[in-house]
Amino acid sequence: MRQIFLDTETTGLEATLGHRIIEIAALEMLDRKLTGSYFHRYLNPGRESDIGALKIHGLTSAFLEDKEKFGDIAQELLEFIDGAELVIHNAPFDVNFLNHELGLIKLQSLNQYCHSITDTLNMAKELYPGKKNNLNALCERYQIDNSRRTLHGALLDAELLVDVYIAMTRGQENLLIETEILSSASHSVDNQNGLQLTLLKADIKELELHAQQLEMIQHESKNHCLWKRLENS
């Protein structure tokens, strides 16, 4: 599954109050490795940022006044995320703003263009209930260097989110690696010793039991069963 790690900066906290996106960044990942392909734009929102928001991102109206409008870059953005799983920290915030921007130019909502949306804030809350789970707290928890984050920026935050996501899902990566090693070792033994192994396929009852086991794991892990995700992709 192709994954896109996405972040935005905005003029304020509420799209319904007329606030707009002023920066958007998206990084592409395949097989848990960044491909080097990315999308990054600063945008002219056509309005001032709230004082509180300006203190967070530092993107002044003077800096943004000659930048493109969202409508100018929308098609390129949608082509970049097409069919991918979007990974976003506090996804409802960014998704609400993106849907608002898409609606202003008479386009469909975000979920019509991507495969799925994963909220890493929800993932973190399930792993660390009752603790701070903002990006800075997660970077500190996983010993990820965020010293450059003196101000919030969509591109830097998307890069940090990649590191946080890899750290949070490290067990799944190890499981995949172990599976690959076992598969490789088995193949090596067959070749070296010339063994003729008979492949026995699971019968219907065994398949049903396997499916029930996966559903139980999916429920217990709150929809983070690796094998279900592999089946779906």
Catalytic residue among 57, 89, 100, 152: 152
Q: Rounded mean pLDDT of 185-191?
A: 47
Domain that holds residue 218: 200-233
Does one domain contain both 9 and 77?
yes
57, 152 contact by CB (below 8 A):
yes
**157 and 222 housed in the same domain:** no
Say if 148 falls within a structural domain: yes
> Helix H segments across 142-233?
154-168, 170-193, 204-220, 226-232
Q: Are residues 128 and 208 in the same domain?
A: no
Position 151 confidence tier, pLDDT thresholds 50, 70, 90: confident
Q: Is the pLDDT of residue 152 over 80?
A: yes
pLDDT at 191: 47
The CATH number covering residue 111 comes to 3.30.420.10
Does 152 participate in catalysis according to the annotation?
Answer: yes
Closest by CA position to 74, among listed 49, 106, 48: 106
Domain co-membership, 122 together with 209: no
Let me know whether 158 and 208 are in one domain.
no
Contact between residue 88 and residue 94 where contact means Cβ atoms under 8 Å apart: yes
CA 207 to chain CA centroid, Å, is: 32
Question: Is residue 179 situated within a structural domain?
Answer: no
Cα 172 to Cα 227: distance, rounded to the nearest angstrom: 10
Q: Distance between CA atoms of 149 and 164, rounded to whole angstroms?
A: 14
Q: What is the pLDDT of residues 58-117, one digit of tens each?
A: 899 999 999 999 999 999 999 999 999 999 999 999 999 999 999 999 999 999 999 999
Residue 124 inside a domain? The answer is yes
Q: Is residue 69 part of a domain?
A: yes
Residues 146 and 206 in one domain: no
pLDDT value at 189 more than 50: no
Distance between start and end Cα atoms, the chain = 6
The residue to which tokens 């429920």 are assigned:
219
Per the structure, the count of domains in the chain is: 2
